[in-house]
């Protein structure tokens, strides 16, 4: 048992029960975060994605669930918090996922030389507007394959960022709002 272990969270998605160990001080340790839940339930079925990235993975629910859903894809989970990465690695094993890896990375730093079909992120609200724009929108956008998509969820207070960005190169579409969170799809125009 990991010395930072706090509890186990169970989450039912598309008829499968996933189990996640969470550690003290990690994000959303009482239950799967509402933003993560709305993002997962908003994602369409993607035709045969080869490379998927979970940016800011925490203990891994987004990346692990997508790795299960797309067993032929190579799924990478990254987070700046090394304790989160440790728990993500453990949860990959716990859920018997063979096509996912977890890495320490500040934003896209460790994967910036790769291109992805799908990037997902539950964007941390407290890192500041510039960090959100650069590290969670623009840099991931530039690591998308030509038909790739970036799907993000933000607390609705951050919607102001997207009103400005809509005038620029990335194409944004608001997909869904629920209980203080908004899901966006971002792609090449």
Closest listed residue to residue 19, CA positions, set 3, 8, 29: 8
Predicted TM-score (pTM) above 0.75: yes
How many CA atoms are closer than 13 Å to the CA of 53, on its beta-carbon side?
Answer: 31
Tell me the domains of the chain and their CATH numbers: 5-187 (3.40.50.150)
Residue 166 confidence class, pLDDT cut points 50, 70, 90: low
Tens of pLDDT along 43-82? 999 999 999 999 999 999 999 999 999 999 999 999 999 9
């Amino acid at each position: 048992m990991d010395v930072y272990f706090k509890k186990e969270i169970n989450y039912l998605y598309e008829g499968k029960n996933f189990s996640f160990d969470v550690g003290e001080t990690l994000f959303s340790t009482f239950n799967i975060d509402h933003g993560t839940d709305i993002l997962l339930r908003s994602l369409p079925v993607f035709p045969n994605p080869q490379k998927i990235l979970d940016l800011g993975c925490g203990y891994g629910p987004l990346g692990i669930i997508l790795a299960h859903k797309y067993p032929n894809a190579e799924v990478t989970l990254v987070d700046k918090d090394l304790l989160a990465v440790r728990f993500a690695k453990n949860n990959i094993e716990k859920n018997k996922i063979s096509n996912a890896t977890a890495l320490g990375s500040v934003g896209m730093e460790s994967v910036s030389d790769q291109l992805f079909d799908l990037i997902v992120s539950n964007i941390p609200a407290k890192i500041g507007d510039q960090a959100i724009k650069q590290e969670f929108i623009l840099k991931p956008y530039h690591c998308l394959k030509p038909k790739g998509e970036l799907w993000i969820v933000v607390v609705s207070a951050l919607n102001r960022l997207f009103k400005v960005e809509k005038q620029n190169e990335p194409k944004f579409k608001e997909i869904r709002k629920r209980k203080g969170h908004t899901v966006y799809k971002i792609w090449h125009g």
